[in-house]
Structure 1
Amino acid sequence: MPSDPLVALRAGELRLVLAPAAGGSIASFTRAWNEGGRERELHWLRPASEEGLARRNPLAMASFPLLPFCNRIRDGRASFEGREIRFPPNHPAEPSPHPLHGIGWLRPWTVESASERQAVLTLQVDASEAWPWAFSARQVYKLEPEGLQVEMTLANEDHATMPAGIGHHPYFPHTPGTRITSPTRAMWRADAEVLPTGLDEGGPVPLLREGVELAQLDLDNNFVGWERTTRIDWPADDAGPARSLWMEAQPPLDYFVLYCPRQYPFFCAEPVSQCTDWLNLQAHYEAQVLGGTRIPPRESLGARFTLRPSL
């Protein structure tokens, strides 16, 4: 079966490859340089596998978009201003009853335009029983020698107000000695099904604020009060010298997800606009700790974040 077309951007030593057919995902984000006459390559994100690209599997990509909601909705059931959400399970590899990450990650995106340093991907989704609002989405990937900027827009194409969440799902390499610093106010504790059960200002929260070696953590949790900045530090190794990456976001990406199971060669640090299952938690918690947005008809929600590598 022929491979789907990829979109390649370059700026200075940075390279970005997009996989529009695999959920509008990033396939790789790298530094390429010449050292002593030898071509070198360093991955800032976990690169997509050949099998993942062939199968259009977003879980095998470097990062994918989250919309029109982020993370899970309990049993795929929720109500919003007179409309019922009946979202079926959608995990490609697990039989979980709780659908996750929305719709965009499992649909092919259209390449609206592409140049050496910028690509625009778009998506149109009709209303359905799963998500009873029509919407459109747009991603603008801008690569500069200093880093990558991702702009996202989610537009309500329906005649009724739509609930919305937006974000991205980057996978980073987890090598020995990797450290992360990510200031937040509190963490959502989670049950065995990774659904929120309550807020905790202790535990990993002070560790992440000061900076912690990733191997000390074992998490799949949402955080509130994120200061919209995360720093990742890798020690020198066979892949390259000691290096860092800053992830910085703009509102409404005020929430943060950290997925870092022990023994995995990767971890996820996700800028998002709402916590897991926010629609079903509104009766019990204030909006400040839940996030989420109402988009009136014909209006839109925008989000932006950057990844800035440093050696």
Structure 2
Amino acid sequence: MSNEDITLTAGDAEVIVRPGSGGRIGGLRIGGTQLLRQGDRFGCFPMVPWAGRIRDGRFLDGGVVRQMPLNSPPHAIHGTARDGAWRTARVTEHEAVITHELTDPWPHSGRVTQIVALAEDSLTLTMAVETYDDSFPAQIGWHPWFHRTLDGVDVALDFTPAWQEERGADHLPTGNRIDPKPGPWDDCFGMPGGVDVTLTWPGLLELKVASREEWAVVYDEQDEAVCVEPQTGPPNGLNTCPRLVTPLEPLEATTTWSWRRL
């Protein structure tokens, strides 16, 4: 099938899936209101086979040091799949399945599958990384850009993490866990019970970002948008907290955004 845009609808919710633009969610409208910042770099893109930054673009893969392109010097950031082509495997009214074959500069072959499932009051994103031969470390994450302001109303963020990863001068976790600090943030937080962050535009909408994963990066240093990014490990996690993909055991993760009108 092609990589043309896909539109899913459920009730008054509409999602645009863009396989040809890095497998990103190009838009989420609820009652005609667009929740995601628009543009080729925005929406909500998949972070895979790693999430956030890798220090100096290097990670240990078995006994081999791998070098990724420094697309956010001095680091490599957000994986390769958001810059690659995805293909549509299956579409129904409420669900789309898209796939991406891992390729250079990633040193291993493998397939990423993303399932986008829309209900009247929720959007569920599920991603899996599979390998057919050799094992490798990987991460999964999502990077949504939610509009800070809807209809003139600014968003409020509410979450209760167990800890914050101390951020070094190089923007990467130092390995120390500290008490959560007030924003603005470009920081990783630990939530052992699962990611649970609520965005509220008072009088308009409440949206909850949830995941069974225990890591989330919150980025709200831009005027236009706030980002709540569930992921399977912290930034630089290929080095500090690797999750192994094997032929018998893919890496899978899910996030659900649920909403209600206020």
Do they fold alike, i.e. is TM over 0.5?
yes
Aligned counterpart in structure 2 of residue 81 of structure 1, from 62, 65, 74: 62
Higher helix share: 1
Consecutive unaligned residues in structure 2, runs of 5 or more? none
- Local SS of the residue matching 1:140: strand
Give the partner amino acid of 2:43.
A
State the identity %: 27
Indicate the residue corresponding to 2:200 in structure 1.
Answer: 233
What is the TM-score normalised by the length of structure 2? 0.90
Indicate the residue corresponding to 1:221 in structure 2.
Answer: 187
Indicate the residue corresponding to 1:304 in structure 2.
Answer: 254
What is the TM-score normalised by the length of structure 1? 0.77
- Local SS of the residue matching 1:105: helix
How far apart, in 2, do the equivalents of 1:13 and 1:279 lie? 40
Query: Residues 13-66 of structure 1: CA distance to partner in whole angstroms, max 9, x if unpaired?
Result: 00000111110000000113xxxxxxxx212322x23xx2xxxxxx2x210111
Structure 1 pair 223/277, CA: closer, same or farther in 2 (3 Å)?
same
Aligned counterpart in structure 1 of residue 142 of structure 2, from 154, 168, 176: 168
How far apart, in 2, do the equivalents of 1:121 and 1:167 lie? 16
Higher strand share: 2
Aligned counterpart in structure 2 of residue 201 of structure 1, from 158, 162, 178: 178
Indicate the residue corresponding to 2:214 in structure 1.
Answer: 254
Give the partner amino acid of 2:124.
Q
Structure 1 pair 203/143, CA: closer, same or farther in 2 (3 Å)?
closer
| Structure 2 residue 50 is the aligned partner of structure 1 residue 69 | yes
* Correspondence list, 1:1-311, <5 A: 5-32=4-31, 41-46=32-37, 48-49=38-39, 52=40, 59=41, 61-91=42-72, 96-126=73-103, 128=104, 130-159=105-134, 161-175=135-149, 177-204=154-181, 217-226=183-192, 227-236=194-203, 242-250=204-212, 253-261=213-221, 264-280=223-239, 282=240, 290=241, 292-311=242-261
Give the partner amino acid of 2:187.
N
Task: State which structure, 1 or 2, has the greater radius of gyration over its C-alpha atoms.
Answer: 1
The CA deviation at 1:246 is 0.9
Q: Is the 8 A contact 1:188 1:196 kept in 2?
A: yes
Indicate the residue corresponding to 1:287 in structure 2.
Answer: none
How far apart, in 2, do the equivalents of 1:88 and 1:158 lie? 24
Query: Residues 166-214 of structure 1: CA distance to partner in whole angstroms, max 9, x if unpaired?
Result: 111111111254211122111112233311224343242xx6xxxxxxx
The CA deviation at 1:80 is 2.3
How far apart, in 1, do the equivalents of 2:77 and 2:236 lie? 9
The CA deviation at 1:83 is 2.5
Equivalent pairs, count:
255
